[in-house]
Amino acid sequence: MKTKKLFLGVGLLLSGAIFGFLISAKLDLFSTAQSQGVKEDRIVFPSSSLSFEGFRMEDAVINVANTTGKAVVSISAEVTKKIGGGVRRFYFRTPEGQFPFGENDPFRRFFDDFFGEIPQREYKQMGLGSGVIIDPEGIILTNQHVVNQADKITVILPDGRQFRGEIKGEDPRSDVAIIKINARNLPVATLGDSDNLKIGQWVVAIGNPYGFAMQNPEPTVTAGVISALHRTLGKSLARDKDYNDLIQTDTAINPGNSGGPLVNFKGEIVGINVAIFSTTGGYQGIGFAIPINNAKRILSRLIEGKKILHGWLGVSVQDLTDDLVGYFGLADKNGVLVVGVLKNSPAEQGGIKDSDVIKQFDNKAITNVRELLSIVAKTDVGRKVKVVVVRDKKQMSLDLVIGERPQGEDLEEQGIAESKTITWRGLAVDDLKSENAQQFNIKEKEGVLVLSVEPNSPADEAGIIPGDLILEINRQKIRNVSDYKKIISALKGDALIKAGRGFFIIKENSGK
């Protein structure tokens, strides 16, 4: 009996232990399952998942800073300018006012002998920027505008050493320059391939914003993404630079960053920081860089100190619109419309005419103006190329020889006048008077000037603005208001307007 009770007690103890174990295990399993359920509902990224090129994102930026950053330098460019000078002007006062002494007045000669001419004064203007070492023997790549007209160039390495810099080669149009310092065994950066860039790709900008004001030679590193590719800055911003194929980035770029590299996470240079778009002068999330492949194309010539030649056609062109496609009977908007052809230019000598639509250049299809400007600029001067155009709805092939682009060659935009004349389809125009031509820097001798455009009129919808110079209507030359009146009096249907800025379609509207 005692033995049975003993076995019963042991059995109860074992049963309780097993039951307790099962309860504990069940609770643990429930807890585990519940935790897994939270993870499934909330996607959790481990820190190692945010990686690029084998690094965590943070480590990738650190790696770029510790490698490519060692090759980024500060550049100070000193430019000496002269102001003042010339002959002093002396005046005498009368009740009627103040008048200068005449050239032969004895008092004038007395004061000239006594005081002499006003001496010229010199002042020094400092330009600050960045650069990147691309050769261990002291070859540095930067922007041309950073060192333009510099009398003295000072380069400071990240380790604090200072060197005098010498311009070896520069190309104002590409805004690229090479400077040389007397140093060896320097850290260098690797040139990458900008043709493989993608929108959204992470990049790092390295440079020296605000230059020597930081009192520290080590460069600044900022990270961001490529916001857009093939951006173009307008003529008013670009001036004489070829800013038709830029990288746009939201990486912080500030004054002094110009000339510094834009780098991918491999540490390769993919661009040269060149400009910011800002209403305040500071960073606002829109920066631009020159694609490194554009610089690589001319680097060897710059290092050798040779002149950089850019191909040139001598035409003014514009992109096609839906209205222009319909007017010219084209199949699509691919191609560019020729607005003007300069005299004695390669285009004129090759047979290109106003209103031609360029569809192909050197066996390459042309989609828009940016593509044409880019391919022409890269074409060797003196090379014979084939250009396919559409003229009067017929396709033809022309052979022409690429010329060298002259300095500052361009077709000018026009200004505004201040008188009134007849109104047609919302346009008020007047003759091109000599005072208007001089005031608004108009080079053409013929045409009618747009004084005003009625809001919501056919002219307004076409994109005509005050200050445009109308040169042709439906391919008929407009020399003055008399020609203008004669043509519009018999005009029916849509009208093709050739202005100084390009072609426009003003649609017929009996209500205007």
| One fold for 311-404 and 423-506 | yes
3: Cα within 13 Å, side-chain hemisphere: 0
For every residue of 278-306, DSSP letters joined together read -SSSS--S-EEEEEHHHHHHHHHHHHTTP
How far apart are the C-alpha atoms of 284 and 286, rounded to whole Å? 6
491 CB neighbour count, 10 Å cutoff: 16
pLDDT per residue of the chain (512 residues) written in tens, 0 to 9 = 555 555 555 455 555 555 554 444 443 433 333 333 333 333 333 333 344 455 577 888 999 999 999 999 999 988 876 665 555 555 555 554 554 545 555 555 555 555 555 455 666 677 789 999 999 999 999 999 999 988 899 999 999 899 999 999 999 989 999 999 999 999 999 999 999 999 999 999 999 876 555 567 888 899 999 999 998 876 555 567 778 889 999 988 877 888 999 999 999 999 999 866 555 555 567 889 999 999 999 999 999 988 888 899 988 888 888 888 888 889 899 999 998 888 889 999 999 998 899 999 999 999 988 889 889 988 999 999 999 999 988 999 999 999 988 865 443 322 223 333 456 887 878 777 655 555 555 667 788 888 778 777 888 888 888 778 888 888 888 888 878 888 887 788 888 888 888 888 888 764 44
Domain extent listing, the chain: 50-79+126-308, 89-117, 311-404, 423-506
Q: Which two tokens stand for residue 396?
A: 């033809």
> Strands (DSSP E) along 416-483, which ranges?
423-424, 427-431, 448-453, 469-473, 476-477
Q: Please tell me which residue in 171, 175, 242, 245 is annotated as part of the active site.
A: 175
Q: Please tell me which residue in 74, 76, 130, 145 is annotated as part of the active site.
A: 145
CATH annotation of 423-506: 2.30.42.10
How far apart are the C-alpha atoms of 389 and 336, rounded to whole Å? 9
Read off the amino acid at residue 158. Answer: P
Q: Is this model's pTM higher than 0.85 or not? A: no
For every residue of 37-60, DSSP letters joined together read HHHHHS----GGGSEETTEEHHHH
H or E segment to which residue 133 belongs: strand 118-135
How far apart are the C-alpha atoms of 448 and 107, rounded to whole Å? 52
- Token pair 């491999």 in the structure block, residue: 266
Distance of CA 434 to the CA centre of its chain: 35
Determine the length of the chain: 512
Q: If you count DSSP H runs as helices and E runs as strands, how many of each does the chain have, helices first?
A: 12, 32
- Token pair 């002494």 in the structure block, residue: 101
pLDDT tens by residue, 157-202: 999 899 999 999 999 989 999 999 999 999 999 999 999 999 999 9
Distances (CA, A) of 424 to 450, 489, 509: 11, 10, 10
CATH annotation of 50-79+126-308: 2.40.10.120
Q: Which two tokens stand for residue 258?
A: 């110009």
The SS3 of residue 450 is strand
Q: Is 175 a catalytic residue?
A: yes
How far apart are the C-alpha atoms of 512 and 427, rounded to whole Å? 10
Residue 404 has φ and ψ, to the nearest 5°, of -90, 130
How far apart are the C-alpha atoms of 266 and 151, rounded to whole Å? 36
The answer to whether 178 and 168 are in contact (CB under 8 A) is yes
Question: Which CATH number fits the domain 311-404, given the four candidates 2.30.42.10, 1.10.10.10, 3.40.190.80, 3.40.50.720?
Answer: 2.30.42.10
Q: Any residues with CB less than 8 A from the CB of 19 and at least 6 apart, and which? A: none
Q: What is the pLDDT of residue 501?
A: 80
Q: What is the pLDDT of residue 490?
A: 78
Q: Please tell me which residue in 130, 258, 316, 355 is annotated as part of the active site.
A: 258
